[in-house]
Structure 1
């Protein structure tokens, strides 16, 4: 296949030029091959406040692109991925201690995500929490969200625990290991531990509130799950070294992308911090990243030894721009947008729901773009979650979501709130309380006073709450499980409440 660098560069430049014309936050688009950076474009501001331009050398937060770096460090340290977490972390409760490290990293371990677990208890992502405070909550989890090996559900918790394990095994702070690994390649990755750490030149993150841009803020301790910062040029240099196995990354791409399997031996697209997918007939590997005010993606075609990095300090999708540049380089057609039956769908039982729009799906709050699969069905372009569905008329969808067979039907427009939900509920393990009212609202945990959410009724004793904080939205499902009220999102499903009074 002939690579069209001219066409790809034109598309990358078009993206950067759009940021430049807007005169708001921006980003960089960098094309690379096995030898290093080939083309680099940038536009917009790294700081709107000070009118500082965003360049390919501007440090930015990688967010979840950081994950595979920890996997490399664990593999280099010889940490066995088939050993249970409790081998190193005896503070963990038994259900979590028994989860294999590899499953904690490939998202099949059922580990509740720390941020969503905190959010469901009324602690916002802007709260300043240390690594030890976050770990203390993990040590109180009563159970996994799902039986390990049965489902791929995105969670940062396994990566937080993996960092703690590496630091105990090596006796070194992970930040030192990150700086040393990247330094061997002449690159400058850094791992700040919280938002107050000074990183010279770091781009400010922004999100759009209506017509205005606002600064993003994230209070939790930065970890291996998404804390590394560096420039787009440095990230492209790292990915180039990964493609060719240069220096400390020798043989690592094959190890990172080796098949990971569910308990039934079926294969997951999510591997060790990288997602395996395809663009036309070309196998591609990549990962996205999102922190408040930052959206990024790295996407590689290993067979051709090429890839693209999109880093931005603006809360907008980065996978599709990255895919359009890579498609131009490879001469591949972009997948056709899906024609989906827009609306809200739900399984017959349990907390599993999905909302479809013109070209995307939100499954329990996990967003993915949908395209046609070429065989009459729909599939995601998995930034994180693999989804494969078929329409059964306009009222039903069925297929696999995160490796699990699901059948979803449209929620009838006249669905009313189930009266059995009304009342005051309390989780005896955490002390978290929810009050569901007959008027279709709920007093949800939030700081000390709570917050009122309008509920969307679902059939069979279920309802969706709706909480917005900054640019992020949480829609936990409240559902009757026997006499208990359960609270469930895609990333955390452990609150189990008893009726009070």
Structure 2
């Protein structure tokens, strides 16, 4: 493949993006463009710290969030000497896990096909706030309580951080620490400042705050969940770019990394996936790009590499509203002089639900939200097909005049417009989760969860057929999930967690006797 890379046009596009952050008293971010040898250009905008009014630069230290994943996968599989194979079942190393979770392979845990429920989202559904502190040991005990999966491993793809946490635990039990691997094999050889703190509250030199905005202004972001190797890494954009240059050069610490991480992965039935091991692949025209993004409260990151043309783009930001993937794609599109697919409006706006299943889809102005996780829609093979460019939530959908049908996460899906019913009046009262002692109340058209001043309320909307959609505040975010009622039980279903089942509280004496 030959291509004239448009470095100046791409830098102009990047500066146009960062300029939008250059407003008084607002956080910002930075974008770099590079090949394997040279930093070809960069753009910055906004502030690194709203208290000191320090401008954001490519040396500002941020939380990389899930950009960590490709680095951890590299170290665990290529540098740890732990003897891990992608085909090894997790239970081989973590005997405390129950089936079927114990039967998920290391590769499936890292390539998002394992069906592992995301810990953060599961705890959120139990009423644990993003701000609540939890440590690694308690989380492992929690994961060992129940081996239920979101779906049978290998049958679809859906994003979860839990697989990386579990593989990191395997290394820990062998006396191998992510931070030690990071310093020995990457940070020191490249002379860059990467660190992997265990918690949000650990001291990280020069770390800039992350911010989110509500109606009263910008707020400093914080999160209490223990930071696993799914997203603990911190560093500057300059340091990240140096590491990515070593991947493009395929030498030093980056030797052989892209070949390993981007090797084709498959679901059952030999269905190819665009998600590798901590990396994704995206096509723009004839070009294949590899990369990954990250999202922590108040931090957004993304990188895209074109190894064949020796080119890369990376972005970091300390503002919650940054659309990092879209920005990175836009800059890479300019660099390659190749337009992105046209946005699609083939699916009518509205709320849709599957038949006799707890799945729902909300379409609004060219965006599709599946089980509460939204992505942009683009034109597929023709104007009637709507697709996403996401590797971890691929969609390929059509409207046939009465229903939306196609695939999400490589699994077949069929949605019809929601027909509300009056199940709400039949499910009033308290619902209880005996394993965790969590509970919520349905009071009129509100779901109430939590205790004391932490009690939160969320609106209930009928999805028909014994299903209710819930929207609850959770720090800088809104969490959306479905209540799927089945007799005296109700399942809580969200994009990343589909394993919890609550029971009617007034039936407690009966089901406690059964246990």
TM range (shorter): over 0.9
Find the aligned partners of 1:211 and 1:130 in 2 and give their Cα distance. 32
1:7 aligned residue (3, 9, 30):
9
Separation (CA, whole Å) in 2 of partners of 1:369 and 1:23: 29
Q: Is the 8 A contact 2:68 2:231 kept in 1?
A: yes
Counterpart contact for 1:368–1:383, Cα < 8 Å = no
Q: Give the alignment of 1:464-483 within 5 angstroms.
A: 464-483=469-488
Residue 275 of structure 1 is matched in structure 2 by: 280
1:427 to 423, 433, 436: 433
2:393 corresponding residue in structure 1: 385
Structure 2 CA distance for aligned equivalents of residues 428 and 321 of structure 1: 44
Alpha-carbon displacement from aligned partner over 1:3-33 (angstroms, at most 9, x marks no partner)? 1111011111222222224541011100011
**Aligned position for 2:294:** 289
Which residue of structure 2 lines up, in the alignment, with residue 74 of structure 1? Answer: 76
- CA distance, structure 2, for counterparts of residue 449 and residue 205 of structure 1: 23
The answer as to 2:327 corresponding to 1:325 is: no
- The CA deviation at 1:427 is 2.5
1:181 matches 2:189: no
Give the Cα–Cα distance (whole angstroms) in 2 for the partners of residues 361 and 444 of structure 1.
27
Q: Taking structure 1 as reference, are residues 309 and 211 closer, same or farther at Cα in structure 2, changes over 3 Å only? A: farther
Q: Is the CA contact (8 Å cut-off) linking 1:120 and 1:445 kept in structure 2?
A: no
SS of match in other structure, 1:455: strand
Moved more, 134-143 or 1-10: 134-143
Partner in structure 2 of residue 314 of structure 1? 319
Deviates more, 1:475-484 or 1:336-345: 475-484
- Aligned match of 1:120: 125
1:406 and 2:413 equivalent? yes
Q: How does 1:457-468 map to 2 (within 5 A)?
A: 457-468=462-473
Say if 1:383 and 1:446 are closer, same or farther in 2 by CA, change over 3 A: farther
Which residue of 209, 217, 221 corresponds with 1:204? Answer: 209
SS of match in other structure, 2:21: helix
Q: Structure 1 stretch 419-428 or stretch 201-210: which is displaced more?
A: 419-428
Question: What SS does the aligned partner of 1:163 have?
Answer: helix
TM-align CA RMSD: 1.8
**TM, length-normalised to structure 2:** 0.93
1:286 & 1:345 partners in 2: Cα distance? 32
Q: Is this contact kept in 2: 1:12–1:325, CA < 8 A? A: yes
Which residue of 334, 345, 355 maps to 2:352? 345
- Look up the SS of the partner of 2:22 in the other structure: helix
Q: CA deviation at 1:142?
A: 4.2
CA deviation after TM superposition for structure 1 residue 484, in Å? 2.1
For 1:310 and 1:493, the matched residues in 2 are separated by: 32
CA contact (8 A) 2:210 2:319 kept: yes
1:202 positional shift: 1.0
User: What are the superposed Cα offsets for residues 88-129 of structure 1, whole Å, 9 maximum, x if unpaired?
Assistant: 111222322121111111111111100011111111111111
* Contact 2:209/2:318 (8 A) holds in 1: yes
Determine the structure 1 residue equivalent to 2:230. Answer: 225
Name structure 1 gaps, 5 residues minimum.
none
CA distance in structure 1 between the partners assigned to 2:391 and 2:38 by the alignment: 24
Aligned length: 497
Q: CA deviation at 1:163?
A: 1.0
For residues 211 and 200 of structure 1, the distance between their equivalents in structure 2, rounded to whole angstroms, comes to: 30
Aligned mates of 1:12, 1:451 — CA distance in 2: 40
Equivalent residue of 2:351, what SS?
A: strand
1: CA distance, partners of 2:268 / 2:486: 25
| Partner SS state of residue 19, structure 1 | coil
Corresponding residue for residue 354 of structure 1: 361
Equivalent residue for 1:39, pick from 41, 54, 58? 41
Question: What are the Cα deviations for residues 408-458 of structure 1, in whole angstroms up to 9, with x where unaligned?
Answer: 11214x544454433432223333223324x22222346786433220111
Q: Specify the SS of the correspondent of 1:307.
A: strand
- Hey, what's the Cα distance between the residues in 1 that align with 2:11 and 2:157? 35
2:200 is paired with a residue of what secondary structure?
coil
User: More deviation in 422-431 or 87-96?
Assistant: 422-431
In 1, Cα distance between equivalents of 2:279 and 2:172 = 22
- Of residues 45, 48, 53, the one that matches 2:50 is 48
Residues 1:366 and 2:373 are matched in the alignment: yes
Question: Is the deviation greater in 468-477 or in 2-11?
Answer: 468-477
- Against the structure 1 CA distance between its residues 449 and 203, is the aligned structure 2 distance closer, same or farther, given a 3 Å change threshold? closer
- Compare 224-233 and 183-192 and name the one that shifted more: 183-192
Match of 2:442 in 1: 436
